[in-house]
Structure 1
């Protein structure tokens, strides 16, 4: 039996809105993009479909949701069926997006790119955006350059190859063909953690089965330990990048 991964943990427990700031942050940053019923939106790495469902219900946008993990896709599919939402749901890899060039007005990515070959994924987001289209990408960001030992410790749980700083992320986005790059929200991991005052509707969703591989609890514990240990060394940023015309 293969060793479970951090993404298996997220999928098994059906965690929606696991990224810093959760759905509340998503609502805030998307609200400024002027989405309409005519907007073509890609939710790349859609997970359980929480964000895609929100976009359809709030804006009536034409949303395509894509994920690679079969269990995530199944939970997203059940959500869309339960809520009667017309979301196009596909299994796919952000390194090779199954869409023609210039397909989308907005590509939304939430804590996905950090787990990929970053330059390849950013290039794909750029390729499928229309000229002048917008990428909103919420990603783990190092508050300062991390040492080899720190990166190894993070990789042992998240299988991340690297954790860029804000400046490094901006440079990679520009190199992928984005003409304008800005940071619209951000902070340290510590600043984004839920507390006793966080409204229940803004906490991450959970949809766990009755039977769970006990090794997934070890991943959960390791994740919580790293979150505490790196709470001020790691942060998050929402990068807004506009594809060159």
Structure 2
């Protein structure tokens, strides 16, 4: 398992496209939108910063699914999956070996973007332990869903398209682009069914209200359950994925 994780992490680090989606583009979005909305007289600077930085951090965390889809499809089409299945390595070791590096990437992404917010915009962080748990839960659901999608899609293009739907659609309806309170009531109700909403509200509660773990436990539970559902779906769908692999 750890040998697979180290190999996958090396490949991920060498992917220049991943660096763009994970770090460069989110910083560009954060800088642009803070500049645009910080001039609004009806909204305080602190509210703008605490909406935009966590919001775009969450949105871009879900783009890790693109890299996961590409990695799994390449392994399937090259016959790597079939060769791995012929070894004594248990299925769950293969999955965790592939999963762990992407969890690490998302956690680094969250740390970098929040660190950028602190250094440039004086973003308050609140309770560090709560932030760490929320970051772990965010990485878990983004990569859990990524695992499920990587096993289910037939082509890279299909995975990229679905990732954009989930990431951008979830961002729009989950309140990552604008506060949920400003949306129509029907959209607000839809938002509460999306993990992006619960992730953002958890971060905002910790940052703005000084909330602790006992205050965001429901946010953490929803994110972890949704992430676990993605992981279970990936494991259940693995036999079908294996049958599609080249020998």
TM-score under structure 1 length normalisation: 0.28
Higher strand share: 1
Structure with greater Cα Rg: 2
Relative contact order higher in (CA < 8 Å, ≥ 6 apart): 2
